[in-house]
Amino acid sequence: MNYHHRNINGQTLDLPLGKVVCVGRNYVEHAKELNNPVPSEPILFIKPATTLVPYLNPIDSTGSPYPLHYELEIAILIQETLKNATAEEAKAAVGGVGLSLDLTYRCVQSKLKEKGHPWEKAKAFDGSCPTSEFVTHPNLDLDSLSLKLEINDELRQSATASEMIVDIVSLLQYASTHFSLVPGDILLTGTPAGVGVLKPGDTLVASLGDLISTNTTVV
């Protein structure tokens, strides 16, 4: 199944596929678990549109050259162009809220970080951004959103947006000062503590409060 932005009823949204702007280390405990310093400003990197696949698609670990690590994140779908955005403009540009897995080759990322190189080889490979359908209700309280990931019925990740170092609207504003966010782009807002390795046979159930519940398996 090819990826398209969809709402929770499965209807295709009238937005093109764009880039995925990712935020690193936006939860204190996640930075600590990987022995990383807590950043003084958001760390940004980009996944291309070729990373997007439906969350429901099985994750093929046998086709990966390195162990796959999972990172569940709240995903913000952009519906209006943002450049040097105000808080009001950032809020108005939110076209939907969903969930994404930032799949990562951690061993590759660690080597790149040691050399001071960009992370894209560890983060931007094809299919590395399984993404759910989006809740498109207006006036969602972004700061009250919560995410949870269970693997094989065991809770691995759980957090609320209020625990983020930088809140969602401020992240949108910050990113828009460095490059334009355009309709169809997605902002990933960082992952909480609890990341780890995926193994064949794993079943992943991700939820966004009571708004979204979706699952996938590792083959």
Give residue 40's pLDDT. Answer: 87
> What is the C-alpha to C-alpha distance for residues 54 and 44, in angstroms, rounded to an integer?
23
> What is the C-alpha to C-alpha distance for residues 59 and 218, in angstroms, rounded to an integer?
5
CA distances in angstroms from 23 to 45, 154, 215, listed in the order given? 7, 26, 23
For residue 67, is pLDDT > 80? yes
Q: What is the value of pTM for the model shown?
A: 0.95
The structural domains of the chain, ordered by start, are: 20-217 (3.90.850.10)
Higher pLDDT, 142 or 109: 142
Average pLDDT, integer, range 39-58: 95
Residue 158, both tokens: 């759980």
Quick check: helix, strand or coil at residue 74?
strand
> What is the C-alpha to C-alpha distance for residues 188 and 131, in angstroms, rounded to an integer?
10
Give residue 31's pLDDT. Answer: 63
> What is the C-alpha to C-alpha distance for residues 25 and 43, in angstroms, rounded to an integer?
7
Give residue 21's pLDDT. Answer: 98
CA distances in angstroms from 205 to 27, 92, 138, 210, listed in the order given? 21, 30, 25, 13
pLDDT class for 55, splitting at 50, 70, 90? very high
For residue 62, is pLDDT > 90? no
Give residue 139's pLDDT. Answer: 82
Give residue 137's pLDDT. Answer: 84
Give residue 146's pLDDT. Answer: 97
The answer to whether 121 and 102 have CB atoms below 8 angstroms apart is no
Give residue 1's pLDDT. Answer: 63
For residue 182, is pLDDT > 80? yes
For the chain, the average pLDDT equals 95
For residue 10, is pLDDT > 90? yes
For residue 74, is pLDDT > 80? yes
Average pLDDT, integer, range 158-175: 97
**Comparing 34-48, 59-73, 89-103, which segment has the lowest mean pLDDT?**
34-48
Average pLDDT, integer, range 51-55: 98
pLDDT class for 91, splitting at 50, 70, 90? very high
> What is the C-alpha to C-alpha distance for residues 25 and 10, in angstroms, rounded to an integer?
31
The answer to whether 136 and 154 have CB atoms below 8 angstroms apart is no
Residue 22, both tokens: 């990712």
Give residue 113's pLDDT. Answer: 85
Average pLDDT, integer, range 77-91: 98
